[in-house]
Amino acid sequence: MAPFDLIISTPVDPTGFTGGLGGPNANGHTGPDWFIRYGMDIGGSTGTSVFAAFDGHITKFQPHNPVADAGKTYGAHIFVRAPDDKMGGYYTHITGVPAGLSVGSSVSRGDLLGTIFHFDGIPSHLHFALVEIVGGLPGGTYVGVDNLYDLLLSLHEPGGDGVASVTFNQDGTPPVPG
C-alpha cells in the first residue's frame, strides 16, 4: 500500500494543557493491548476540552459510566478511525461526550469529543493512543505508533498553530512527522 499523509492537531485544549505524563512503553503503558502499550498521557486540568485530533469516524464508543470507574480504567472510551481506515486513535479518561456522538458518527479534526475527567488521585489527563492499520481494513495489521508523543506535546507550545502533518508509510515502519 502507498504511504499517506494525515494532518493531526492537539487533542487537548492548549488553555488547559499541563504537560506530558508519560508516553508509549513507559509509566504503566505495558501489556499486550496496543491501546495501553502505545498510550500517551497528555496532562490537562479537569474539565479541559478534548478534540478529535484528525478527521474520521467513530467505530467504538463506551460512554462514561461512573459506577464502573476503577484503577486505570475510567471515563468514556472512543475509537476514531481515519476516513480511509488506515489508522486510528483511542481516547479515554473523558466525560461530557456531546449528545449524538456514537458509533458511526463522523468527526472532523477539532470537533469536541468531551472533557478530561479526574479520578481517584490520578493526575488528570487524556490517555491517547494511535495505531496504523497496515494494509487498511478489512484484514489490515494493527501496528501501534510509539514515536509521536514528543510531537503531540510540542503542538501545545505557544505561538504554534497546533497542527502537524504525519506520513504513515503503510509498511510497519514508524510514521514520519512532516
Q: Which residues of 69-86 are buried (b: 16+ CB within 10 A; e: fewer)?
A: eeeeebbbbbbbbbeebb
Residue 160 has pLDDT above 90, yes or no: no
What residues does each domain of the chain span?
4-177
pLDDT tens figures, 92-129: 999 999 999 999 999 999 999 999 999 988 999 999 99
Architecture of domain 4-177: Distorted Sandwich (2.70)
**What percent of the chain is modeled with pLDDT above 70?**
100
Q: How far is CA 54 from CA 8, 76, 166, in A?
A: 5, 19, 11
Q: How far is CA 74 from CA 78, 85, 175, in A?
A: 12, 26, 29
pLDDT tens figures, 27-63: 788 878 888 889 999 999 999 999 999 999 999 999 9
Prior bond of 138 cis (ω within 30°) = yes
The whole model's pTM is what? 0.95
What is the C-alpha to C-alpha distance for residues 116 and 103, in angstroms, rounded to an integer? 20
